[in-house]
Protein backbone atom coordinates (compact mmCIF):
# COMPACT_ATOMS: atom_id res chain seq x y z
CA UNK A 1 0.00 0.00 0.00
CA UNK A 2 1.07 3.55 -0.68
CA UNK A 3 -0.16 5.98 1.94
CA UNK A 4 -0.58 9.72 1.61
CA UNK A 5 -2.08 12.39 3.84
CA UNK A 6 -5.69 11.97 2.69
CA UNK A 7 -5.74 8.79 0.62
CA UNK A 8 -4.23 5.33 0.31
CA UNK A 9 -3.40 3.45 -2.86
CA UNK A 10 -4.12 -0.18 -2.14
CA UNK A 11 -4.32 -3.24 -4.36
CA UNK A 12 -7.69 -3.97 -5.93
CA UNK A 13 -10.09 -6.08 -3.91
CA UNK A 14 -12.67 -8.38 -5.46
CA UNK A 15 -15.44 -6.30 -3.88
CA UNK A 16 -14.24 -3.08 -5.57
CA UNK A 17 -16.11 -4.07 -8.73
CA UNK A 18 -19.37 -2.90 -7.14
CA UNK A 19 -18.07 0.68 -7.19
CA UNK A 20 -15.92 0.65 -10.32
CA UNK A 21 -18.75 -0.66 -12.48
CA UNK A 22 -20.65 2.55 -11.71
CA UNK A 23 -17.71 4.67 -12.80
CA UNK A 24 -16.97 2.62 -15.91
CA UNK A 25 -20.62 3.01 -17.01
CA UNK A 26 -20.69 6.77 -16.45
CA UNK A 27 -20.46 8.45 -19.87
CA UNK A 28 -18.92 11.68 -18.56
CA UNK A 29 -16.11 9.60 -17.00
CA UNK A 30 -15.77 7.53 -20.17
CA UNK A 31 -15.29 10.75 -22.15
CA UNK A 32 -12.67 12.20 -19.78
CA UNK A 33 -10.74 8.94 -19.33
CA UNK A 34 -10.70 7.83 -22.98
CA UNK A 35 -12.74 4.69 -22.25
CA UNK A 36 -14.68 2.72 -24.81
CA UNK A 37 -18.38 3.62 -25.15
CA UNK A 38 -19.77 0.15 -24.52
CA UNK A 39 -21.80 -0.77 -21.44
CA UNK A 40 -20.04 -2.81 -18.74
CA UNK A 41 -22.13 -5.61 -17.26
CA UNK A 42 -21.58 -7.25 -13.89
CA UNK A 43 -20.26 -10.33 -15.66
CA UNK A 44 -17.78 -8.29 -17.71
CA UNK A 45 -16.59 -6.34 -14.66
CA UNK A 46 -16.22 -9.45 -12.49
CA UNK A 47 -14.35 -11.26 -15.28
CA UNK A 48 -12.02 -8.28 -15.70
CA UNK A 49 -11.32 -8.33 -11.95
CA UNK A 50 -10.62 -12.06 -12.02
CA UNK A 51 -8.15 -11.58 -14.87
CA UNK A 52 -6.38 -8.66 -13.20
CA UNK A 53 -6.23 -10.25 -9.76
CA UNK A 54 -4.78 -13.49 -11.18
CA UNK A 55 -2.15 -11.78 -13.35
CA UNK A 56 1.47 -12.28 -12.35
CA UNK A 57 3.21 -10.59 -15.29
CA UNK A 58 3.68 -7.20 -13.54
CA UNK A 59 3.13 -5.34 -16.81
CA UNK A 60 0.06 -3.60 -15.41
CA UNK A 61 -0.29 -2.46 -11.81
CA UNK A 62 -3.70 -1.43 -10.52
CA UNK A 63 -4.49 0.44 -7.32
CA UNK A 64 -7.79 1.48 -5.81
CA UNK A 65 -7.66 5.03 -4.46
CA UNK A 66 -9.37 4.99 -1.07
CA UNK A 67 -9.97 7.48 1.70
CA UNK A 68 -8.48 6.58 5.08
CA UNK A 69 -11.78 4.80 5.94
CA UNK A 70 -11.25 2.45 2.92
CA UNK A 71 -14.05 4.08 0.88
CA UNK A 72 -13.02 3.93 -2.81
CA UNK A 73 -12.84 7.27 -4.62
CA UNK A 74 -11.12 6.09 -7.79
CA UNK A 75 -8.51 3.89 -9.36
CA UNK A 76 -5.07 4.47 -10.84
CA UNK A 77 -2.91 2.24 -13.01
CA UNK A 78 0.52 1.87 -14.48
CA UNK A 79 -0.01 0.11 -17.80
CA UNK A 80 2.25 -1.53 -20.36
CA UNK A 81 5.28 -1.37 -18.09
CA UNK A 82 8.42 -1.98 -20.11
CA UNK A 83 11.22 -2.88 -17.70
CA UNK A 84 13.84 -2.85 -20.46
CA UNK A 85 13.11 0.66 -21.72
CA UNK A 86 11.97 1.85 -18.27
CA UNK A 87 8.64 3.36 -19.30
CA UNK A 88 4.90 2.91 -18.91
CA UNK A 89 1.62 4.73 -19.30
CA UNK A 90 -0.65 5.93 -16.55
CA UNK A 91 -4.41 6.04 -16.17
CA UNK A 92 -6.51 7.55 -13.39
CA UNK A 93 -10.20 7.97 -12.58
CA UNK A 94 -11.74 9.84 -9.69
CA UNK A 95 -15.22 8.36 -9.77
CA UNK A 96 -17.85 10.36 -7.94
CA UNK A 97 -18.36 14.05 -8.71
CA UNK A 98 -18.34 14.81 -4.97
CA UNK A 99 -14.77 13.47 -4.72
CA UNK A 100 -13.35 15.59 -7.54
CA UNK A 101 -11.51 18.81 -6.82
CA UNK A 102 -10.44 17.69 -3.34
CA UNK A 103 -6.85 16.84 -4.21
CA UNK A 104 -7.31 13.05 -4.25
CA UNK A 105 -6.17 12.78 -7.88
CA UNK A 106 -3.11 14.94 -7.30
CA UNK A 107 -2.10 12.99 -4.21
CA UNK A 108 -2.66 9.65 -5.97
CA UNK A 109 -0.55 10.81 -8.93
CA UNK A 110 2.30 11.94 -6.67
CA UNK A 111 2.27 8.63 -4.80
CA UNK A 112 2.23 6.61 -8.01
CA UNK A 113 4.92 8.68 -9.74
CA UNK A 114 7.18 8.28 -6.71
CA UNK A 115 6.49 4.53 -6.67
CA UNK A 116 7.19 4.18 -10.40
CA UNK A 117 10.46 6.11 -10.27
CA UNK A 118 11.85 5.12 -6.88
CA UNK A 119 10.59 1.54 -6.47
CA UNK A 120 10.17 0.24 -10.02
CA UNK A 121 13.16 2.23 -11.33
CA UNK A 122 11.22 3.55 -14.31
CA UNK A 123 12.47 6.60 -16.21
CA UNK A 124 9.38 7.85 -18.07
CA UNK A 125 5.63 7.83 -17.51
CA UNK A 126 3.24 8.84 -20.28
CA UNK A 127 -0.39 9.81 -20.11
CA UNK A 128 -2.99 10.54 -22.77
CA UNK A 129 -5.49 13.30 -22.05
CA UNK A 130 -8.43 14.23 -24.25
CA UNK A 131 -8.45 17.92 -25.17
CA UNK A 132 -11.77 18.56 -23.44
CA UNK A 133 -10.41 17.39 -20.05
CA UNK A 134 -8.90 20.77 -19.12
CA UNK A 135 -8.75 19.97 -15.39
CA UNK A 136 -6.62 16.84 -15.94
CA UNK A 137 -4.37 18.64 -18.44
CA UNK A 138 -3.72 21.44 -15.92
CA UNK A 139 -2.98 18.92 -13.15
CA UNK A 140 -0.50 17.00 -15.30
CA UNK A 141 1.30 20.25 -16.22
CA UNK A 142 1.42 21.27 -12.54
CA UNK A 143 2.95 17.89 -11.65
CA UNK A 144 5.70 18.32 -14.24
CA UNK A 145 4.35 16.48 -17.27
CA UNK A 146 5.31 17.98 -20.62
CA UNK A 147 3.37 17.70 -23.83
CA UNK A 148 5.24 15.54 -26.32
CA UNK A 149 2.64 15.59 -29.05
CA UNK A 150 -0.96 15.64 -30.08
CA UNK A 151 -3.04 13.04 -31.88
CA UNK A 152 -5.46 14.96 -34.10
CA UNK A 153 -9.10 13.82 -34.13
CA UNK A 154 -8.04 10.62 -32.38
CA UNK A 155 -10.91 9.90 -29.97
CA UNK A 156 -14.55 9.65 -31.05
CA UNK A 157 -17.21 10.30 -28.41
CA UNK A 158 -20.68 11.80 -28.47
CA UNK A 159 -20.63 12.44 -32.20
CA UNK A 160 -17.29 14.22 -32.45
CA UNK A 161 -13.63 13.46 -32.92
CA UNK A 162 -11.39 15.00 -30.27
CA UNK A 163 -7.65 15.57 -30.13
CA UNK A 164 -5.60 13.70 -27.54
CA UNK A 165 -2.53 15.24 -25.86
CA UNK A 166 0.44 12.93 -25.28
CA UNK A 167 2.20 13.99 -22.08
CA UNK A 168 5.18 12.59 -20.21
CA UNK A 169 7.12 13.03 -17.02
CA UNK A 170 10.72 11.94 -16.66
CA UNK A 171 12.69 10.90 -13.61
- Residue 114 to residue 110: CA distance in whole angstroms: 6
- Residue 130 to residue 151: CA distance in whole angstroms: 9
- Cα 65 to chain centroid distance, Å, stands at 10
- Residue 144 to residue 169: CA distance in whole angstroms: 6
Alpha-carbon distances of 145 from 3, 90, 136, 166, rounded to whole Å: 22, 12, 11, 10
**Residue 137 annotated to the active site:** no
**Residue from 92, 69, 66 nearest 1 by CA:** 66
Which contiguous run of DSSP H or E holds residue 80?
Answer: strand 72-82
Catalytic residue among 62, 104, 137, 140: 140
Pair 168, 136: CB distance under 8 Å = no
Residues serving a catalytic function are 140
Amino acid sequence: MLEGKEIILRPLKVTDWQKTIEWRNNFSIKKMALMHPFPITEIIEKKWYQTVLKSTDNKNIYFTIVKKNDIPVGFITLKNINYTHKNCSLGIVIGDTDDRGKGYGKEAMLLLITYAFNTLNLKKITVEVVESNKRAYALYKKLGFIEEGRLKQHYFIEGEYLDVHLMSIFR
